[in-house]
A and B are shown apart, each in its own frame.
Chain A
């Protein structure tokens, strides 16, 4: 049976949206096995906002990559929206991501070939939305970029690019939003504006937010923080 074909379609709101048990990630290096993450247990409830904090190299990005199904763990289990990620193949995880997950990255990761509007339309089109253009325009209007919709990413400032990325992330009304250092490439003022917008949208759409950050102030705005140190939750 093709594992890609059967992601769950309903989510029980009383169930945790993410359930992580004994998660570990190790890689083989020239000096032997390197444990990046060890024995992580984590439960995330729907609508919760969580900050993952820690020093460089503590395993934050690896954890978010695993939680979002971008990579597979060496051990343990992740249940995302009721489905075990380890039971799915790469295409199955892609479908799951398309359905439940949104992303915001430090380096924005807009598609350079597409305009702002087209970038936001893309996940809607992938999800076979009835009127992707209208929905995308509304979102861009919501993030204050109604005048810039035809611009290419390279013609937008960093803050504007991140706002387009936010609009894109919220376009399909994902259940979970993963944000990896969303203000890392922005000055503090622009960063604050983007974060305000993100939390506002998060409130509006009732999204679960998992955020990787160095910024303690930003972490304090979340419901709770998870501190990582050398691949373990402390």
Chain B
């Protein structure tokens, strides 16, 4: 038979099956899987890119290249060609002398369009009177940190000398969007125009300058440029994106993405169960047709082609509908989130939509292949002897085909082999556990039911007649309910944890550059004003010079990442107890450890390429500090608390000059109280982080909304599975029901027995789902999401009840015709 004829026949079969409702469940499950994958894919991608764009104001631009050298002209030309706008800052340390006082400052010369994202804030009085600045300092003028005025006893309108250039102080600078991780800097900021840079005479060969080349443009332009530029950068130049620059924002985003990814997998698995069951029924319903076709001369491969083509058509059509639906759904969500989102959303990616359709096809093929292959082995003799069923597909084939599909899908979402293997292993263990517990509970219930009424005994007989089918139904319901429970538990906790993590009174001020002699006074002053502070952390600024006795330059020659982390000026602190939000991953936190040991943040350790026991040497001021790594920590950056890369054991900083840092919460209406404090302690820097808190809150709100939205998919997919599983055994039930009705059973009895059976199955499945979810959630929280874990007793009550009701209703609805239609009509439908 030619392919054309075969495909014509396949189409004809498909239309007929579709009309009779045979394909409804398969199509519904596929559409849900595709709509879910594509909408979540597009949604999280767009959210992520939009938020990255938003977050870019914390870098002062969309993209930044940092370095110590002047940017090559040809590189700027290339940026220009690509349509990127460009700005630049040059930073250097400079001592200012005024009124017989010396002050080391950090001077920043900026181009006219600085900052490319976000705005500067200035004030002509205290921190409370701050306002957005228009542009940058004009030539001949300078904006300075309040400490410059207090330390050098200067006022607005006075002159200062920077290098060889006299400049007039115009405003007090209170906020730079791109100050970033540099907030603990000891040196107060002095902002000048790029035009005045040369006149200062500071830019000389060999002078130590930090260049920040800033670029704005569309994502496409930036990507093109970074691809072009990256290979040409020197070791000392770095292209920076937001995830690296602001870990507290990146972390909130990552967690949200992780959840969306996990839920996506859950939805796909649930839909996969429905697809596998629907495909099995599809295959079973076509045994007779296959036998006739074999009689009429169709070869085995043609049979495979015929039904394979039908499934492929179903996959393509459902894929298209799913993609369309996914598109509409993601637009719907964006509409819901309109008030939260910025005006300029990143464009959706078409590739991700198509990837959703591809996922659908992969799930369809992976989960239905064994059932379709089975059709190939239907004997033509079945036309004479209907009881001849084909051999069931090899168990290995079923397992391998399902496992390969799941493995590919999970890896796609986790993008990490280890997580995939862990999820796979946990999945296997939970399925084995569910099967075992299901079989045990079924036996127990079967022992109880014969003592009930006639309907109960019939239900027991029904379940007992085919224990394998009953067990697989319990497993299907159980896995589905478990996935639904997991999605909702994690969602609830995630939202609650976020809410807890960012309470109304989260510290919104950081106070730093507090000198030791000011500590007592400041503490008292804040207490008098009823301002509660957190711990006062001593801070010393140290530059890493050696790792295990090898100079950092030597080490960094081998590893660019190391070079980068090594170049930073680290804020070193010490504290006796592990700060909240920190977790020891390797080694031990100190209990009365002597001075000289350090706990290092995990990513910093990776960048530096160091492990437990390694020696780090820092230069702090003019002194040397040697410490040994005794623990590696994870840090919750999105907690917005004072977080540190390096924490030293108590006493280590005793011989070093330190300042102190603390944070506290002050509501908007009490901000004026700070003016009094800052007048008494003029050298203390106060930094308000309301903007960052707002940004993180917005991100969390967005992700929460997305998370709730996706839960709907999980629920919808779950309902489809329930119907698929019930339908899978429908033919046998019709047969049995017809026999009973022929023997005189009335409709009420049949309905009662169905009700008991389905409620029973649903209840057992629910109980199993609660148990398995509890175990999984524990693992998920502790290992993956790093959230605190609580025992969820409510789910132990709710899940079996919901299971019983859902499965019971789905069962009653699907079997309603058995008690309604005449036995003859039913038999003809078989």
A94–B298 touching, CB < 8 Å: yes
Interface residues of B in 281-304 (CB under 8 A from A): 288-289, 291-301
Q: A97-114 CB contact bits vs B (8 Å, 1 = yes)? A: 111000101010111111
Q: Cα distance A180–B288 when bound, in Å?
A: 16
Q: Cα distance A114–B20 when bound, in Å?
A: 12
- Known contacts A97-B297, A98-B297, A126-B298; A112 and B384 CB within 8 A of each other: no
Interface residues of B in 2-22 (CB under 8 A from A): 2, 5, 8-9, 12-13, 16-17
A105–B384 touching, CB < 8 Å: yes
B384–A180 touching, CB < 8 Å: yes
B379–A91 touching, CB < 8 Å: no
Interface residues of A in 73-105 (CB under 8 A from B): 90-91, 94-99, 103, 105
* B385 CB within 8 Å of chain A: yes
Interface residues of B in 363-413 (CB under 8 A from A): 379-381, 383-386
Chain B positions within 8 Å of A105 at CB level: 383-384
B380–A114 touching, CB < 8 Å: no
* A231 CB within 8 Å of chain B: no
Q: Return A154 CB to nearest CB of chain B, in Å.
A: 6
A125–B294 touching, CB < 8 Å: no
Q: Return A128 CB to nearest CB of chain B, in Å.
A: 7
* B1 CB within 8 Å of chain A: yes
Q: Return A74 CB to nearest CB of chain B, in Å.
A: 14
Residue of B295, B300, B301, B385 with highest tally of chain A CB at under 10 A:
B295
B295–A97 touching, CB < 8 Å: yes
Q: Return A60 CB to nearest CB of chain B, in Å.
A: 10
* B451 CB within 8 Å of chain A: no
* B671 CB within 8 Å of chain A: no
Q: Cα distance A96–B297 when bound, in Å?
A: 7
A103–B12 touching, CB < 8 Å: no
* A160 CB within 8 Å of chain B: no
* A140 CB within 8 Å of chain B: no
* B821 CB within 8 Å of chain A: no
Interface residues of A in 111-140 (CB under 8 A from B): 111-114, 118, 122-123, 125-128
Q: Cα distance A161–B367 when bound, in Å?
A: 36
| Other-chain residue from B8, B292, B385, B829 in contact with A109 (beta carbon distance below 8 A) | B292
A111–B299 touching, CB < 8 Å: no
Chain B positions within 8 Å of A4 at CB level: 299
Q: Cα distance A122–B297 when bound, in Å?
A: 10
B381–A70 touching, CB < 8 Å: yes
Chain A positions within 8 Å of B828 at CB level: 154
Closest to B18 in A: A113
Interface residues of B in 249-304 (CB under 8 A from A): 288-289, 291-301
Q: B583-595 CB contact bits vs A (8 Å, 1 = yes)? A: 0000000000000
* A64 CB within 8 Å of chain B: yes
Q: Cα distance A68–B8 when bound, in Å?
A: 28
| Other-chain residue from A103, A110, A125 in contact with B1 (beta carbon distance below 8 A) | A125
A113–B296 touching, CB < 8 Å: no
Q: Cα distance A95–B293 when bound, in Å?
A: 11
Q: Cα distance A112–B22 when bound, in Å?
A: 12
Q: Cα distance A189–B114 when bound, in Å?
A: 99
* A71 CB within 8 Å of chain B: yes
Chain A positions within 8 Å of B383 at CB level: 70, 103, 105, 109
Q: A209-223 CB contact bits vs B (8 Å, 1 = yes)? A: 000000000000000
A113–B17 touching, CB < 8 Å: yes
Q: Return A122 CB to nearest CB of chain B, in Å.
A: 6
A122–B296 touching, CB < 8 Å: yes
Interface range, B side: 20 to 34
B1–A126 touching, CB < 8 Å: yes
* A173 CB within 8 Å of chain B: no
Q: Return A57 CB to nearest CB of chain B, in Å.
A: 13
Q: Cα distance A109–B301 when bound, in Å?
A: 22
Chain A positions within 8 Å of B12 at CB level: 113-114, 118
* A191 CB within 8 Å of chain B: no
Chain B positions within 8 Å of A47 at CB level: none
B381–A65 touching, CB < 8 Å: yes
Q: Cα distance A95–B292 when bound, in Å?
A: 14
Q: A21-46 CB contact bits vs B (8 Å, 1 = yes)? A: 00000000000000000000000000
Q: Return B345 CB to nearest CB of chain A, in Å.
A: 47
Q: Cα distance A126–B1 when bound, in Å?
A: 6
* A61 CB within 8 Å of chain B: yes
Q: Cα distance A70–B16 when bound, in Å?
A: 27
B1–A123 touching, CB < 8 Å: no
Interface residues of A in 149-205 (CB under 8 A from B): 152, 154, 180
| Other-chain residue from A91, A111, A127 in contact with B300 (beta carbon distance below 8 A) | A91
Chain A positions within 8 Å of B380 at CB level: 70, 94, 97
Closest to B13 in A: A113
Closest to A132 in B: B5
Q: Cα distance A180–B380 when bound, in Å?
A: 14
| Other-chain residue from A70, A107, A118 in contact with B295 (beta carbon distance below 8 A) | A70
Chain A positions within 8 Å of B288 at CB level: 109
Q: Return B456 CB to nearest CB of chain A, in Å.
A: 34
Interface residues of B in 640-669 (CB under 8 A from A): none
A111–B289 touching, CB < 8 Å: yes
Chain A positions within 8 Å of B379 at CB level: 70-71
Q: Cα distance A98–B1 when bound, in Å?
A: 11
A90–B295 touching, CB < 8 Å: no
Chain B positions within 8 Å of A94 at CB level: 294, 297-300, 380
Closest to B15 in A: A113
Q: Return B412 CB to nearest CB of chain A, in Å.
A: 36
B384–A97 touching, CB < 8 Å: no
Chain B positions within 8 Å of A95 at CB level: 297, 299
Q: Return A163 CB to nearest CB of chain B, in Å.
A: 17
| Other-chain residue from A70, A113, A128 in contact with B289 (beta carbon distance below 8 A) | A113
Chain A positions within 8 Å of B16 at CB level: 112-114, 152
B297–A123 touching, CB < 8 Å: yes
Q: Cα distance A154–B16 when bound, in Å?
A: 12
Chain A positions within 8 Å of B381 at CB level: 65, 70-71
Q: A44-76 CB contact bits vs B (8 Å, 1 = yes)? A: 000000000000000001001100101100000
Q: Cα distance A112–B20 when bound, in Å?
A: 10
A111–B297 touching, CB < 8 Å: no
Q: Cα distance A105–B2 when bound, in Å?
A: 28
Closest to B292 in A: A109
Chain B positions within 8 Å of A70 at CB level: 295, 379-381, 383-384
Chain B positions within 8 Å of A91 at CB level: 299-301
Q: Cα distance A211–B297 when bound, in Å?
A: 20
Chain A positions within 8 Å of B299 at CB level: 4, 91, 94-95
Q: Cα distance A126–B299 when bound, in Å?
A: 10
Q: B83-95 CB contact bits vs A (8 Å, 1 = yes)? A: 0000000000000
Chain A positions within 8 Å of B292 at CB level: 109-111
Chain A positions within 8 Å of B386 at CB level: 107
| Other-chain residue from B13, B297, B298, B385 in contact with A99 (beta carbon distance below 8 A) | B297
Q: Cα distance A4–B300 when bound, in Å?
A: 11
Q: Cα distance A112–B287 when bound, in Å?
A: 12
A61–B1 touching, CB < 8 Å: no
A103–B295 touching, CB < 8 Å: yes
Interface residues of B in 395-444 (CB under 8 A from A): none
Closest to A91 in B: B299
Q: A113-B16, A113-B289 are in contact. List 8 more A-B contacts (CB 8 A).
A: A91-B299, A94-B298, A95-B299, A97-B297, A111-B292, A123-B296, A128-B5, A154-B829
**Which 5 A/B pairs are nearest by Cβ-Cβ distance?**
A98-B297, A113-B16, A91-B299, A70-B381, A70-B380
5 interchain pairs, CB-CB under 8 A: A64-B384, A94-B299, A109-B383, A152-B16, A180-B384
